[in-house]
């Protein structure tokens, strides 16, 4: 049994730097953490009228979140906040009333932009929403990526300061998950 992290990437585009970065981080995190990418592009726009008979993609999404030991939200920054796609997924995960799939899960937030802000504004707002839905978000270390060529090479985080920082993040997040759910179970 490994510690399974449900990873949600807030950008839907195929060349997303957030997805590229998250996939490379997933490789770095093994074997401590096993990333499972939970797709959100097929979720309908949240509508309470649909709650009586949850659409299949919503059922699939909620099952995948509930099956994970922890959640990682990977956010782009759109107009100084996190994406509408991510907010839509958050809504579905939190509903119907009494069936909040997020409740009590250890969580972390990271994000990448192409500019200097590094998703600081988006993460700040996302952190507040994540608390409201019952995620226990690790406070430190914070990771704000101002994405540059060469940070990810052949799908792996390149050697250097960023890799060191991220190794520290993997240790910190693993410890956080362990504190909330029991010891982290590394893959054999
Ligand atoms: C609609 C839109 C709004 C954006 N707003 C911001 C912003 O507020 N701050 C920022 O740093 N970058 C902003 N950007 C640039 C994104 O950081 C950049 O497009 C990034 O590549 C998006 O992440 P992705 O590659 O994972 O899709 C914006 C991009 C789009 C498309």
Dump pLDDT digits (tens) for 27-85: 999 999 999 999 999 999 999 999 999 999 999 999 999 999 999 999 999 999 999 99
Nearest CA to ligand 1 atom 2: 78
pLDDT value for 147: 93
**144 Cβ contact list (under 8 Å, min separation 6):** 111, 117, 118, 119, 120, 123
The mean of the pLDDT values for the chain is 95
Distance 123 CA to ligand 1 centre (A): 13
Closest atom of ligand 1 to 117 CA is: 11
> Pick from 112, 89, 93: which is nearest to 103 by CA?
93
Domains of the chain: 3-181 (3.40.50.360)
Closest atom of ligand 1 to 19 CA is: 26
């Amino acid at each position: 049994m490994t510690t399974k992290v449900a990873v949600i990437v807030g950008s839907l585009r195929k060349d997303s730097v957030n997805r590229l970065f998250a996939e490379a981080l997933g490789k770095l995190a093994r074997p401590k953490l096993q990333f499972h990418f939970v797709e959100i592009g097929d979720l309908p726009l949240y509508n309470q009228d649909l709650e009586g008979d949850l659409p299949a993609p919503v059922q699939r999404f909620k099952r995948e979140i509930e099956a994970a030991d922890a959640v990682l939200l990977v956010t782009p920054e759109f107009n100084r906040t996190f994406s509408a796609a991510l907010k839509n997924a958050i809504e579905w995960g939190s509903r119907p009333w009494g069936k909040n799939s997020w409740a009590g899960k250890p969580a972390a937030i990271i994000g990448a932009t192409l500019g200097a802000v590094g998703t600081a504004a988006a993460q700040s707002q996302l952190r507040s929403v994540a608390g409201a839905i019952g995620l226990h978000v690790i406070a430190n270390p914070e990771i704000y990526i101002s994405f540059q060529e060469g940070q990810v090479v052949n799908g792996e985080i390149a050697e250097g300061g960023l890799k060191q920082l991220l190794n520290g993040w993997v240790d910190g997040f693993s410890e956080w998950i362990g504190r909330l759910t029991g010891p982290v179970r590394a893959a054999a």
